[in-house]
Amino acid sequence: MAIDVVMPRLGWTMEEGTLVDWLKSPGDAVAAGDLLFTVESDKALNEIESMDTGTLHIPSNAPTTGDVVPVGAVIGYLLADGEQGPAEVPPPPAVTGASGAAASSATATATATATATATAEAAASTSSPTPGKSVPISPRARKLAKELGVHWESLSGSGSTGRITEDDIRTAAQNAAAAGPAPQSDGGQLASTESITGERTPMSPLRRAIAERLSLSHRDGAPVTLTAELDATDLVELRERTKPRPAFNDYLIRYVATALDRHPALNTSLSGADVVQREGIHIGFAVDTDKGLLVPVIRDADGKSVEQIARESSALSGRALRGELTGDKMTGGTFTITNLGAAGIDAFTPIVNPPQGAILGVGRIAQRPAVHDGQIVVRWLCVVSLTFDHRIVDGGPAARFLATLRQMVEAPASS
């Protein structure tokens, strides 16, 4: 009997993935453990192993490379010797989200994740009904409706048993945007009824992931930003003398890791009502790619030299730019650095990357007039901005963290 090859669930919030490439060709023999295909989910590229053995069969109507495929949709089959494969794959499941996704035969962990998520969502949607409303809605759809300002009570759900899904919410939001805002009374004045026109492009999974994370940070956090100007003249001279020459960001990753070791309050996260002191110092650094912002992580950065960090960051940046960065290289970060100096930006306000508690924004290092040893001279100066969640960190520890960072940047030979 033909074994289904389906789009796996690779995370709690994954509803669809992009089929990037088949690593086997139709007619190839596939053994359990072989890499079968590549999937892009949210920000990560994942190589999927087969859990079964057989000959790969891909019907003509199956999704092709580049297609966005719902979780649980059949994309091919594994056949026994001499077996005739189905002529077509079935339509993708109508249900979106965890409750409607079939468990993947391509990965055992996907099965456990899909089952656990479906159980949790089903329990939440049935245990917390909205008063006077019998139409069920998933918790994630309810949250998305609140973010987009959609009144879901009047919608008809497309999910199983009429449940309202995230796709229903997005569709309602798009329809409302296309129709334009409704007139509203405001002190005798009517709100604008101008509709938004122009070419529409659906958000990519990566763009949606970025939007949801940043919305979460802005909505749930209590961000405060401290800004400091650093004299990087000695650091510029040190870098000029170093061969091979690290990037300025490599020095900053090392110095930030040391500062976090001395000021661990900035290396924390909020979990429920608990402040969690993170184990290890793992520094994420933002990389601007054609597909969006990716944040690979340098693990245990406090135990690595600048040269080691330079080699690792260069390799990770290259993989990010080529679209080869896997999920395990972007998880577990405890603090993030985002550097817009190369774009000519002097200063900006970064947004905390949840569940982390703080992020450092770095502007360009530029020659400016400064007072040094009582004289007005030209120095290499840099503005850094530390945004932190004031729910878990006070201004004092944050200011002391920046003071330590300034000391190391301005006297790098002793750092």
| Cβ neighbours of residue 328 closer than 8 Å, sequence gap 6 or more | none
Say how far residue 17 (Cα) sits from the centre of its chain.
14
Give the C-alpha separation, 358 to 74, whole Å: 41
Q: Which tokens in the block code for residue 20?
A: 């990037």
> To the nearest 5 percent, what fractions of the chain are helix, strand and coil?
35, 25, 40
**Annotated catalytic residue: which of 151, 218, 372, 390?**
390
Q: Which H/E stretch holds residue 390?
A: none
- Least Cα distance to 361 among 238, 223, 261, 234 occurs for 223
Alpha helix locations (H) across 69-227? 108-127, 139-148, 166-179, 205-220
Give the C-alpha separation, 182 to 384, whole Å: 43
Q: Are 338 and 361 in contact (CB under 8 A)?
A: yes
Does the annotation mark 390 as catalytic? yes
CB burial readout 354-377, b (16+ within 10 A) else e: ebbbbbbbbbbbeeeeeeeeeeee
CB atoms inside a 10 Å sphere around CB 295: 24
Q: Are 269 and 356 in contact (CB under 8 A)?
A: yes
Which residues carry out catalysis? 390
